[in-house]
Structure 1
Amino acid sequence: MSLEIRTLEASEGADAAAWMRALNVGFHRSPPVPDEELAMRLPRLHPDRTQGAYDLGRCVATFRSMPRQVTVPGGAVLPASAITNVSVTATHRRRGLASRMMGADLAAAKERGEPLAILIAAEYPIYGRFGFGPAAWVSVWEIDIPRAALDGRYAGPADGGRVDLATIAEVREHGPGLYERVRTGIAGAIDREQVWWDRAVGEVRYPTDDPWEEPFFAFYRDAAGRIEGLASWRVKDHPWPNKLPKEDANVLQLIGATPAAEAALWRFLLSLDWVTRLNSSYRAPDDVLPLLLGDPRAARLESYADFMWLRLLDTPAALSARTYGGGPAALVLDVRDPAGLAGGRFLLETDASGAAVCTPTGADADLSLSVADLAWLYLGDESPERLAALGRLTEHRPGAARTATALFRTARRPWCPDVF
């Protein structure tokens, strides 16, 4: 079988159409790509980062990456290669096509100076062999509002702030800037392109999208009038049994620059007339939502799963960029990377403020682990001591795993709010 892997022809719309058709096939969607949708999506593709595998000229596998920024513990943002649209047509599985495209993309990302690669794994077992590890998880909550034991009838925030409904124009004006402030405080959050906001307010709609229904938007403003939070949601009505209200509030997004903003928006949504059930959509794995209720048992965990996977491509750059707990410390990590991209032995030194410097070293290792397992630790979500108990991390100096836990773990778990 004659198989060729190559990037897209930048100036050839037919090449992109064939690639998108193969993507639809790989994701079990109707294969045709409307001309209007092709024209809308084509400018968003990065041809030099979009690969296809071709058998006798027909595209049978797809792979794409795009530039993103990822917030790491401490608030620094790092460039990352965000991998998406990975598919292999069922007739061409087990030929190593995804592996070849992944290898090419990771090597190119390292050459570009991107110290991280990220993706959202459709299936858990696939990406560990490429050096990725689950770095940020998500939870989805369903709130039974009549059982939530909320404290009295809602009469607005008690802190001097206010919640106001917002128009699409206001969301376009203030939403992106608010999100930029919020994401620097969330390890694992990524930047949003303008098209994200265009789609959120319905100004960009692809022909294959579901019919558009304008959501509700609300801002939280603090006592000084500054916008500190944004929520959007839709309400779905159901037949009312015995004339008792029965409606769902489906939250699309809720972001707050302060705990007060986040709590005020949740309290507002939980108080909507006639709404008896609230669906949270993807939230942080340690989201405060259940504990805002008088009876947290009214919150049912609908889903809890790995979400954003991460791979280190430049270990010294990545480890030097984040901050750490545990006070001044020094730790020698021996990192195994069969792909030869980020492995080696590295000295991680931190000061009292949590700032760090990571450099190659020839000193004896305190800990050894794979680059995939280092990804589990990188954003602060996993315990080195737990990895050691699982046999995934080897301790060469007594107490080194405990030191690593104090260094890497964060007060709040990382969270990526967006699908990419």
Structure 2
Amino acid sequence: MPPAIRTLTSADELPEWLRALSVAFLRSPSVSDEEVAARAPFIEPARTQGAFDGGRCVGTFRTFSQEMTVPGGAALPSCAVTNVTVSPTHRRRSLLTRMMSGALAAAKERGDAFASLVSAEYPIYGRYGFGPAAWVAEWEVDVTRSGLDPRHSGPGDGGRVDIAEPEEIGRIGPALHERYRAQPHRQGVIDRPERWWRNLTGQLRYPGDEFTPPYHAVHRDERGEPQGFVSWTVHERWDGKLPQNRADVQYLTALTPAAERALWLFVLSIDWITRVRSGFRAPDDVLPLLLPDPRAAVLDTLADFLWLRPLDVPRMLEARGYPVEGALVLRLRDEAGLAGGSYRLEAGPDGATCKSTGESPDLTLDVAELGTIFLGDESAVRLASLGRAEEHREGAAESADLLFRTPRRAWCPDIF
């Protein structure tokens, strides 16, 4: 008999489900009672699927509600997909396909605009209609050759940077993040529930969680209002009585360019820190060009990160902003039958309408490719040159690029 796919029916099944998750992610083959107790309140059984072979869980899959900012600053509801695993003993048996199909159908019925996930491996999710919508970059800065003034002592614009306790970050951080993700050019940024802040500040702990308490600092403007914060850890190392310590930035959120510059310069000027790892940042982050010698920032990672799966095309396209006036008829192929069809988009700086149409298309592409261009991070012209978009009207791909372009690249700061 093939493994049965079903949602969790009781809390008693959660330890076995978490064990399967841990094994597939190459972690401990056992799960403590403390971990189960810590994680249980944040897992919705009705949105948690397992593949069960007898009494053993051999596949895991979970979704939860998420809000994501789209170009222009509006937020749309997403079905966030996470904790996807199949045990090594049960690979290539269509378990993921069965779990994904049920989850996407439920998300469509629920009214989510799209589904979202962070892909551990590139080749897996395209066949389910997901496309890579935002990338991440990570730099390591050699502070000693960066050209920064070693006498730097703080912002010169009337603001200040203060060390903060976890309690303060838990108090002011949520409002800062909400203001940050509502900005027009922060597409791809997701909401952070209470659990996220409890994790960052060390309030949600269990044995073996590998938590290292971070340092925190807050930037305040000349009026004393918080405009950003940074969290980092330190890897300590000394060679021959000389410091070789590295600061690893976990999160840096800033509402203004001045706060962003001040927080980076603060971390880069900490005594005894000779290297700084940026953590995952937007591919067009200001960090390298903030340095007098940008070559001191070595690009360590540049990779796909956030993937989107369109579910409600009119809602998606009407919600985002557009820099120019234009009209485009899109034909979307969708093997799952969730979002396929032809749509006429009429858009401009004052808003957009998108409706099903019987008109001849200007551009045909798979639904996954719409996920790829939706946040403005990919070029339809480039997709056409790859054979992943088909022009039926000369210049249609270029028209799509003009409509979908954004001043800054999409970025999702959080793994989920």
Shorter-chain TM-score range? over 0.9
Following superposition, the deviation at residue 27 of structure 1 comes to: 1.4
- Give, as a single letter, the amino acid of the residue that structure 2 aligns with 1:329: G
What is the TM-score with the length of structure 1 in the denominator? 0.97
User: Do structure 1's residue 214 and structure 2's residue 210 form an aligned pair?
Assistant: no
> Which of the residues 131, 134, 154 maps onto 2:132?
134
What is the TM-score with the length of structure 2 in the denominator? 0.98
Verify the 8 A CA contact 2:38 2:205 in the aligned structure 1: no
Give the Cα separation in 2 of the matches to 1:269 and 1:18.
Answer: 42
User: Do structure 1's residue 350 and structure 2's residue 347 form an aligned pair?
Assistant: yes
Alignment map for 1:272-283 (pairs within 5 Å) = 272-283=270-281
Give the Cα separation in 2 of the matches to 1:309 and 1:124.
Answer: 10
Give the Cα separation in 2 of the matches to 1:179 and 1:208.
Answer: 28
Please give the secondary structure, in 1, of the residue aligned with 2:99: helix
Write out per-residue CA displacement over residues 50-86 of structure 1, whole angstroms, 9 at most, x where no aligned residue. Answer: 0011112321111001110011000000010110111
Verify the 8 A CA contact 1:151 1:294 in the aligned structure 2: no
Q: Tell me what 2:338 maps to.
A: 341
Following superposition, the deviation at residue 381 of structure 1 comes to: 0.2
Write out per-residue CA displacement over residues 292-338 of structure 1, whole angstroms, 9 at most, x where no aligned residue. Answer: 0000000000111000111101111111110112x211100001101
Following superposition, the deviation at residue 160 of structure 1 comes to: 1.2
Q: Tell me what 2:6 maps to.
A: 6
Alignment map for 1:20-419 (pairs within 5 Å) = 20-151=18-149, 153-185=151-183, 186-210=186-210, 212-241=211-240, 243-325=241-323, 327-351=324-348, 353-419=349-415
Please give the secondary structure, in 2, of the residue aligned with 1:169: helix
Please give the secondary structure, in 2, of the residue aligned with 1:278: strand
Give the Cα separation in 2 of the matches to 1:354 and 1:381.
Answer: 22
- Give, as a single letter, the amino acid of the residue that structure 1 aligns with 2:42: R
Paired positions, count: 414
Give the Cα separation in 2 of the matches to 1:122 and 1:350.
Answer: 35
Following superposition, the deviation at residue 174 of structure 1 comes to: 0.5
Please give the secondary structure, in 2, of the residue aligned with 1:14: helix
Following superposition, the deviation at residue 112 of structure 1 comes to: 0.4
- Give, as a single letter, the amino acid of the residue that structure 2 aligns with 1:70: M
Give the Cα separation in 2 of the matches to 1:305 and 1:296.
Answer: 20
Structure 1 segments unaligned to the other structure (5+ residues): none
Verify the 8 A CA contact 1:2 1:56 in the aligned structure 2: no
Moved over 3 A (4+): none
Give the Cα separation in 2 of the matches to 1:146 and 1:18.
Answer: 50
Structure 2 segments unaligned to the other structure (5+ residues): none
Q: Which deviates the most, 102-111 or 396-405?
A: 396-405
Determine what percentage of the aligned residue pairs are the same residue. Answer: 56
Following superposition, the deviation at residue 103 of structure 1 comes to: 0.3
Give the Cα separation in 2 of the matches to 1:80 and 1:268.
Answer: 35
Please give the secondary structure, in 2, of the residue aligned with 1:376: helix
Following superposition, the deviation at residue 235 of structure 1 comes to: 1.9
Give the Cα separation in 2 of the matches to 1:379 and 1:297.
Answer: 29
Following superposition, the deviation at residue 344 of structure 1 comes to: 0.6
Give the Cα separation in 1 of the matches to 2:330 and 2:228.
Answer: 40
